[in-house]
Structure 1
Amino acid sequence: MGQIQQLSPKAKIDPAIKEKVQQLVKSAYHTRIKDVNESLLIIEKARNLSLKYHYQYGVDVSEAYKGFFLMILGDFKTSLKLSKALLDKFQEDHLKAERSVVLYTIGSVYYKSDNYHVGLQHLLECLSLRRELDDKLGESQVLKAIGTIYEFFNDYESAEEVYERCFEISQSINDKLGESNACNPLSGIYLKRGKYEKALDMANRSITLKEAGGDTRGLAFAYHAKAKVFLRTKEFEKAEKWFLKSLKLQRQMGEKMGEGMCELKLGELYLALDNYAKAKIHLHHAIAIGEGVNSKLILFKGFNSLYLIAKKENDAPLALKYLERHLENKESVINTGTGSIIKSLKAMAKIEMLEREARIIKEKNSDIEKKNTELDTFVYRVSHDLRGPIASLLGLYNIARYDIKDTLSKKYLDMYHEQIMRLNNIILDLINLTRIKGWQVKNSKIEFSTIVQSIIKSFEYLPNFPNIKFNLDIDETIEYYSDKSIITTVFQNLIENSIKYSRVDISPVINVVVARDSHDDFLLIEVRDNGIGIGADYQERIFEMFFRANDEKEGSGLGLYILKYAVDKLNGKIKLKSERGEGSTFSIVLPF
């Protein structure tokens, strides 16, 4: 299922309850590799706890994972009902990780019940979300399911490529469980292509990894993969041993599809050994399971083997009956498969296109990142080199202003000073920007009052400052941990902007608010002024580099760009509400 994402509750709930629900969800997910029924019991505890404290988000997430576990157990009807009910809800709430869970579940139900094209559509959307979330674990999991669909379409080359991609992803993040999960289908592909040694090697590798990781459920499938190799090479005694070991674990785990496939293979094995009595027992078990989970694939293979047995036993009426059932289910599979192939061609082409685009984008991003780093280094060095001459020019100005007595000369000198100061501010902003870009976020407790008061004091030199009234509404009870330098940059740019664009025809007021949002989930920073405001035509562009909405005021055009960059660095959001002549309100929301 990929990474278990941090819960993002929408209501004011005791943090201890949120944490307890989070831990129960994690525990249920990790327990699935040993006992899916136990996972269901744990997830039910999470749901009941959420219901007790009216924690709707906890209820929804619990039901999403319940649907996932029921899919594993073969209860497709209930799984689909639970998952579909949550699909639109998670979309409306912009919960991408949670939506990917139900998409994966729905996609898996459809492809496991032979509805491949619908399954593929959901898996493709899930894959897109997992990549957007940079969830490598989840990406590998979805690709494995897509590889299974390729395999059904007999496109073994594409299936092998997808499975090997899963293997590479798992190795890159040191995910032994994912690595072992890729080994099983790779073993099957090698087997179908007649590479028996490679198939056996992959099955053994999977067994080793799953035993080491304690993945009992996965171990059952690894045993099954090994048994299939021995069945193909007609080493029947070894095949029987590993199929029986797999069947025991499949039953123990409640894995209906796995159990059905095991029973089917044992039936085929005993048929090859002419042990018809044993073959029929296992084949009837397989058919009962196939009917229970609506797997036409198990049914048509099971009835085919029973038809062959009845034919060998010279029971013509029974042979005819099984042949009819076999053809009936085979036709259903072929019709579904043919329709799926036609409808899935576009989706498969889209997957391949996405794969190519992902590789191209990755290469481009790498080049861009390298060039950006070089550019930032260049800007930083040049800015520092320019600081020296500018400091000298400012020093010369301070000397000259005392020596020059002529009024006109003083006027020109002051004009010169203004331009040097403007250049100096641009360079300081460029240095600040490159510093923030390369800054590694280091969290510490933030003392908001201390930071804000210190910043206000530092702007005493700005014009109109003595006339401004500052109102500070800072919730001192908030315990917030973040990067002090970046938080300081945020307040610095907000307050400086309000001071610079204050009005002189009225009493200027700047309000600074630090509080929790209405749901108690986020930190709210708000700076509101009654300054000159920003016209509607300019508001979409104010965060662009070097854009200035008002040429009458001095500025580098970098302040709000730096502000936006700093807020993004802290995974926050910024919103502007402004009207020309009425003032501006900048609202920033940061996660706790």
Structure 2
Amino acid sequence: MIPPTTAKTKIESLLSDAYACRVNDLKKSISLAEEALQLSKEADDKSFIAQSLAQLSLFHMIIGDFDLSINMANEAIDHFQNLKDEKGIADAKYTIAGALYKRDDFHQGLNYLTDCLATYKKLGDYHNLSRVQKSMGTIYEYFGDTKSAKQIYKESVDSAKFAGDLNLQSNAYNPLSGIYLNEGRVTEAMDLIEESIRMKKETRDTRGLAFALYGRGKIYTQTRQFAEAEQDFLESIRIHNEMGEKLGWAMSYHKLGALYIKMGNLDQAEETLIKVLEYSNKHKIILIKFRANLLLHDIARKRGNYELALKYLSQYVDEKESVINDRTAKVIEGYDTINKMQTLEMEATAQKEKAEIIEKKNIELDSFFYRISHDLKGPITSMMSLSYIAKMDVKDETALRFINEYDNQTSRLNTILDGLLNLTKMSFNEDTKQEIDFEKIIYDCIASYKFLANYELVQFKIDVDPKIRFEAEWALINTIMQNLIENGIKYARTENNTPEIHISVRQTKDAIEIESTDNGIGMDEETVSKIFTMFFRVNRKIEGTGLGLHILKRAVERLNGEVSVKSKLGEGTTFRISFPK
């Protein structure tokens, strides 16, 4: 048995070496950390067990084993909490944040980063502060907030300089260079990425060098230095492959395919992008997957193969719709988190001011979405009119199929905008109450959905207490009833079953209670937990925007009510809504 002092020295050495070689040999890092974990367990040292788990979770996050990484980090957090180790908890949370935002869960990732930021500031840990700031900049870029991203990348550079860490400094230079390139500041972009490459070579950060070469390849592509761009992308791919970095490999391979298109090498481009598509499918890298489909559509169109072009275009539209819808919802949630982060430091002395700021931010956000949705209605209407005119004049079957695809997506966009307008109107409509005739609203809503496919098959049973006296905003009650009825019809179970929707409205001593029960397709527990999330759709085979139930919940909350759902897959769903009298 190893003596305790010797074991401690050995474990410290293993963990130090594992962290140091993460930049050029992740396999060795994992092996060393696993050995440290085994020795820590044999010595029953809780602190070293936690540190070993935290390092292993970091290394697995880097290579894209996100589920394993999160599980290990959570196990480490349990140990760190028992040890009251604030820095250890923050280190593990940083890893979880990386795993979350790398698989597009920006909102939760930002929550964890916000906690890390507060801890590292408190401890004066500039090394880890720089890491967190760089990750936050990445999320801001995903949000499309380039101004904030640029600012926090610069803060990451400052923190890295204060910590005297060239690796962290160059890590922030890479995305900053990309922002400068997009702004048309090509010379500044190249100067910054060259400095990053120099630093990576000096520090022997092989993995970081691959990302820097990827950044320079993009600049060479824009300046039409194609041979140099190809060389950088291929070297980046080689390093990522060697290091096991899945996302970096897919990013570089995708840009290589785009480069070959610019060079006119369509065969080579197609071969490259099909490889990207297969790899992205295997590793669920959705963002690169839909971008590869768009480039493959461009290749097929250049060759005059419109059948294949339409296939890739359809795949691109379907996958992008999923990503953009999910991202839109997460951007909205993410900005709520940003509001929290921006006001966190004022909490001790300015609780009232914080509440006012958050309320103002929420109003600004609603106002932004209202203005954008409203302003887009005109162009969308014009696009729909142009589609109608084109169908009258165009006779070619292939062209008509493209026009129909265009028409379908434009109509869907119009429906989404209508939903967003209804959602934001709730924040701006005046509180004009009137006595509610529930029975009339319900029957009017039922009649308005005669166009839905299952309408003729559904049997409705309406039971409204005639003694109800209730005043509220008519538009909100109407919105609630519309969404309950629409969902009941759309998700009806028609095979070997008579679809039924039962709606009752009752008055108790303290509340008005609405219950809607159907015998439709139903949902499992996981689906029920997500149905009020913006843009979430229960079944993508059934047409919809994923806004209806989110709007319903907002309307119920506006009336100070509560909504609950019970459902069983294959048996049906019950919504219960209660309003205080």
Q: What TM bracket, shorter-length normalisation? A: 0.5 to 0.7
Alpha-carbon distance between aligned partners in 2 of 1:137 and 1:158, rounded to the nearest angstrom: 21
Matched residue type, 1:66: L
Is the aligned partner of 1:172 residue 2:158?
A: no
Match of 1:330 among 320, 326, 335: 320
Match of 1:110 among 82, 100, 107: 100
Matched residue type, 1:165: E
Alpha-carbon distance between aligned partners in 2 of 1:274 and 1:284, rounded to the nearest angstrom: 17
Alpha-carbon distance between aligned partners in 1 of 2:57 and 2:279, rounded to the nearest angstrom: 20
> 1:181 is matched with which residue?
171
> 1:384 is matched with which residue?
none
Alpha-carbon distance between aligned partners in 2 of 1:317 and 1:169, rounded to the nearest angstrom: 53
Please provide the CA RMSD for this pair: 2.2
Alpha-carbon distance between aligned partners in 1 of 2:61 and 2:283, rounded to the nearest angstrom: 10
> 2:300 is matched with which residue?
310
> 1:226 is matched with which residue?
216
> 2:67 is matched with which residue?
77
Per-residue CA deviation, residues 395-428 of structure 1 (Å, 9 max, x unaligned), is: xxxxxxxxxxxxxxxxxxxxxxxxxxxxxxxxxx
Is the aligned partner of 1:321 residue 2:326?
A: no
The answer as to whether partners of 1:260 and 1:289 remain within 8 angstroms in 2 is yes
Identity of aligned residues (%): 36
Within a 5 Å distance, the mapping from 1:101-500 to structure 2 comes to 101-353=91-343
What's the CA shift for 1:111?
0.7
Match of 1:34 among 14, 24, 41: 24
Alpha-carbon distance between aligned partners in 1 of 2:24 and 2:160, rounded to the nearest angstrom: 20
Within a 5 Å distance, the mapping from 1:38-49 to structure 2 comes to 38-49=28-39
Alpha-carbon distance between aligned partners in 1 of 2:256 and 2:65, rounded to the nearest angstrom: 24
Matched residue type, 1:20: K
SS in 1 for 2:301: helix
Alpha-carbon distance between aligned partners in 2 of 1:196 and 1:171, rounded to the nearest angstrom: 25
Answer 1 or 2: higher relative contact order, Cα 8 Å, separation at least 6.
1
What's the CA shift for 1:266?
0.2
Alpha-carbon distance between aligned partners in 2 of 1:232 and 1:109, rounded to the nearest angstrom: 31
The answer as to whether partners of 1:220 and 1:250 remain within 8 angstroms in 2 is yes
* Structure-2-length-normalised TM-score: 0.57
What's the CA shift for 1:54?
2.7
SS in 1 for 2:104: coil
SS in 2 for 1:282: helix
What's the CA shift for 1:317?
3.1
Is the aligned partner of 1:53 residue 2:43?
A: yes
Per-residue CA deviation, residues 57-99 of structure 1 (Å, 9 max, x unaligned), is: 3223212211110111011121122223333442343121211
* Structure 1: unaligned runs, 5 residues or longer: 1-11, 359-592
Alpha-carbon distance between aligned partners in 1 of 2:123 and 2:75, rounded to the nearest angstrom: 23
Matched residue type, 2:43: Y
Within a 5 Å distance, the mapping from 1:537-556 to structure 2 comes to none
Q: 1:84 to 1:120 in 2, by over 3 A?
A: same
Per-residue CA deviation, residues 106-129 of structure 1 (Å, 9 max, x unaligned), is: 111111111111111111111112
SS in 2 for 1:114: coil
Alpha-carbon distance between aligned partners in 2 of 1:293 and 1:354, rounded to the nearest angstrom: 37
What is the number of residues matched between the two proteins?
348
Matched residue type, 1:220: A
Matched residue type, 1:326: Y
Matched residue type, 1:182: A
Could you tell which deviates more after superposition, 56-65 or 26-35? 56-65
Alpha-carbon distance between aligned partners in 1 of 2:346 and 2:23, rounded to the nearest angstrom: 33
What's the CA shift for 1:335?
1.1
Per-residue CA deviation, residues 149-203 of structure 1 (Å, 9 max, x unaligned), is: 1111111111110011111111123211111111101101111111111110110
Alpha-carbon distance between aligned partners in 1 of 2:184 and 2:23, rounded to the nearest angstrom: 31
Q: 1:57 to 1:292 in 2, by over 3 A?
A: farther
Could you tell which deviates more after superposition, 30-39 or 55-64? 55-64
Per-residue CA deviation, residues 548-587 of structure 1 (Å, 9 max, x unaligned), is: xxxxxxxxxxxxxxxxxxxxxxxxxxxxxxxxxxxxxxxx
SS in 2 for 1:32: helix
What's the CA shift for 1:356?
9.0
> 2:57 is matched with which residue?
67
Alpha-carbon distance between aligned partners in 1 of 2:345 and 2:276, rounded to the nearest angstrom: 38
Which of these two proteins has the greater Rg computed from alpha carbons? 1
Could you tell which deviates more after superposition, 321-330 or 26-35? 321-330
Matched residue type, 2:141: E
Matched residue type, 2:75: A
What's the CA shift for 1:355?
7.9
